[in-house]
Amino acid sequence: MAEDKKEKNKEAVRSFQAVKGMHDVLPADEPYWEKIESVVRALAKDYGFARIEPPVLEFAELYNKTSGDTSDVVQKEMYTLKTKGGDMLALRPEYTPGIARAYLEHGMSRLPQPQRLLAMGRIFRHERPQLGRARQFTQIDLETLGGVSDALYDAEIIEVMSDLLAGLKIKNPTLKLNSIGCRVCRPLYKKQLQAYYRAHEKDLCDDCRVRIDANPLRLLDCKEPGCEKLKEHAPSILDKLCINCSNHFKEVLEYLDEVKIPYELDSRLVRGLDYYSRTVFEFYADGPEAQIGAIAAGGRYDYLMETIGGHITPAVGGASGVERLIAVMRAKETAPNGAASTTPGSKRVFLAHAGELSKKRCFSLLRELRAKGIAVTESLAKDSLGNQLKVADKEGIGIALILGQKEIYEDTVIVRDLTSGIQEAVPVDRLADDLKRRLAAK
């Protein structure tokens, strides 16, 4: 019988495992989330990014049209579902198209331009989980939409991302920068690149032979020794930019110099989404944590609105992965202060009863103290006073209150300083003020 029950429990636990790549955010992670949220909120306020939160589900077609029919994110990694009404929907694999859609749908082009928007929420990609890579994850997304295609805004997005990392004490990140040109210069460059690689096709790896036609820009990203060698003499996009793109990129660099943000030019940097034009960037953590992958990335996408029925609308954006930021913070031990609980133990008091008869009065006293703004916890379900105080000690609480029959008759409460071990009886009507004074001193 007992055996059967055990088996049943096992069975139940097994069937309710978390879905692959979907992770619980546990109380122990909370300080990191709180820290990130507060830094993001402060930056949004300082730079004037307003919060927008588009839905998690959109028509799948929105992403096909924008992120791209050739991108892995859409082709291989998007969660799609068919509704009972027959609509094809997708769990958002990124923020940008949804925000662009909202911008058009709500006529935000009639508001002062550009619109600076901020979103923070869950993103879904069906890929093989790894460290810093899950199927559900969280992005902080910044978008500057509308106005003119001014390099100032490219630099600003990069600047905010840089501030975000600095605010989280992620020091010396590497910023990689590139420009992938526009409709005018990119096709020309692609042709030159293809021509160059066709001439050396026999020295390429199998993947790269496919890439020549499928995604020539990716040829520059291959790590096979043979292909690596060919890269050295491959034409660089930075030499092939048209005059407008070249000037735009130069200005981005000048703005970054102006605010002293260091960067590395990387003419091999190509982004996996179809809609990018001109500036693209990626931030990597310093040291071994670079393996976690880009911790923030983005670029300009002046043509995106046009593909979903709007006019050409200059826009630039960037996103950062919250779980990756946390992974880096953990690895670098830049842990935020404070324990798992919202209020650290030193700022809380603990109420213990001395004997069953005072439990009920304790329950109402908790309420009275909380109403006066005092954070108070308890372990009233335990019967012995010793065990209750043991809990207080484990939670790192500095002040314990003890209430027994004697105190109820006298209308007092024992206030015990758990650090010094000194205690005194305080009249109930003076209790809240007394505690506030003690807590302020902690």
Partner RNA sequence: GUGCCUAUAGCUUAAUGGUAGAGCCUCGGAUUGUGGCUCCGAUGAUACGGGUUCGAUUCCCGUUAGGCACCCCA
Q: Which of residues 137-166 bind RNA (CB under 7 A)?
A: 137, 139
Nearer to RNA, 31 or 321 (CB): 321
Of the candidate residues 108, 185, 369, 389, the single one contacting RNA (CB under 7 A): 389
The binding track of 55-84 with respect to RNA, each residue x by CB under 7 A or -, is: ----------------xxx--xx-------
Nearer to RNA, 241 or 296 (CB): 296
The binding track of 246-285 with respect to RNA, each residue x by CB under 7 A or -, is: ------------------------xxxx--------x---
Upstream peptide bond of 114 is cis (omega within 30 degrees of 0)? yes
| Token pair for 26 | 């546990």
Identify the CA nearest to 175 among candidates 103, 237, 265: 265
Element housing 18 (H / E): none
Of the candidate residues 58, 94, 154, 159, the single one contacting RNA (CB under 7 A): 94
The binding track of 406-425 with respect to RNA, each residue x by CB under 7 A or -, is: xx------x-x-xx-x-x--
Distance CA 353, CA 313 (A): 66
Nearer to RNA, 9 or 342 (CB): 9
User: C-beta of 272: minimal distance to RNA in Å?
Assistant: 0
Of the candidate residues 1, 12, 16, 19, the single one contacting RNA (CB under 7 A): 19
Using CB under 7 A as the binding rule, the residues of this chain from 315 to 344 that contact RNA are 319-321, 323-324
Of the candidate residues 60, 108, 134, 193, the single one contacting RNA (CB under 7 A): 134
Identify the CA nearest to 148 among candidates 248, 47, 255, 281: 248
Residue 252 DSSP one-character state? H
Cα atoms in the 13 Å half-sphere on the side-chain side of 26? 3
Residue 80 DSSP one-character state? E
Place of tokens 């009249």: 427
According to the binding rule CB under 7 A, does residue 97 interact with RNA?
A: no
According to the binding rule CB under 7 A, does residue 121 interact with RNA?
A: no
Of the candidate residues 20, 45, 360, 367, the single one contacting RNA (CB under 7 A): 20
* Per-position b or e across 273-285, b if 16+ CB within 10 A of its CB: bbbbbbbbbbbbb
User: C-beta of 209: minimal distance to RNA in Å?
Assistant: 13
Residues that bind RNA (rule: CB under 7 A) add up to a total of: 72
Cα torsion at 149, 154, 157, 160 (round to 10°)?
A: -130
Helix, strand, coil percentages for the chain (3-state, nearest 5): 45, 20, 35
User: C-beta of 130: minimal distance to RNA in Å?
Assistant: 4
Stretch that binds RNA, among 107-115, 185-193, 381-389, 427-435 (CB under 7 A): 381-389
Q: Can you say how many angstroms the Cα of residue 297 is from the centroid of all Cα atoms in its chain?
A: 12
Nearer to RNA, 9 or 247 (CB): 9
Stretch that binds RNA, among 56-64, 122-130, 367-375, 428-436 (CB under 7 A): 122-130
Cα atoms in the 13 Å half-sphere on the side-chain side of 210? 3
57 residue type, one letter:
L
| Token pair for 227 | 């292909």
**Going by C-beta distance under 8 Å and a sequence separation of 6 or more, which residues neighbour residue 43?**
49, 160, 163, 164, 167
Of the candidate residues 61, 355, 370, 433, the single one contacting RNA (CB under 7 A): 355
Stretch that binds RNA, among 172-180, 188-196, 219-227, 334-342 (CB under 7 A): 219-227
**Beta-sheet pairing, 296-300 with 423-427:** unpaired
Identify the CA nearest to 319 among candidates 276, 351, 371: 276
**Going by C-beta distance under 8 Å and a sequence separation of 6 or more, which residues neighbour residue 335?**
31, 32, 329
According to the binding rule CB under 7 A, does residue 125 interact with RNA?
A: yes
According to the binding rule CB under 7 A, does residue 207 interact with RNA?
A: yes
User: C-beta of 155: minimal distance to RNA in Å?
Assistant: 18
Nearer to RNA, 111 or 399 (CB): 399
* 339 torsion bin: left (phi>0), alpha (psi -120 to 50), beta (else): beta
According to the binding rule CB under 7 A, does residue 229 interact with RNA?
A: no
The radius of gyration of the chain from alpha carbons, rounded to an integer in Å, stands at: 29
According to the binding rule CB under 7 A, does residue 383 interact with RNA?
A: yes
Stretch that binds RNA, among 40-48, 164-172, 216-224, 229-237 (CB under 7 A): 216-224
Question: Which residues share a beta bridge with 373?
Answer: none
User: C-beta of 48: minimal distance to RNA in Å?
Assistant: 23
Nearer to RNA, 14 or 311 (CB): 14
According to the binding rule CB under 7 A, does residue 348 interact with RNA?
A: no
Of the candidate residues 132, 146, 173, 345, the single one contacting RNA (CB under 7 A): 132
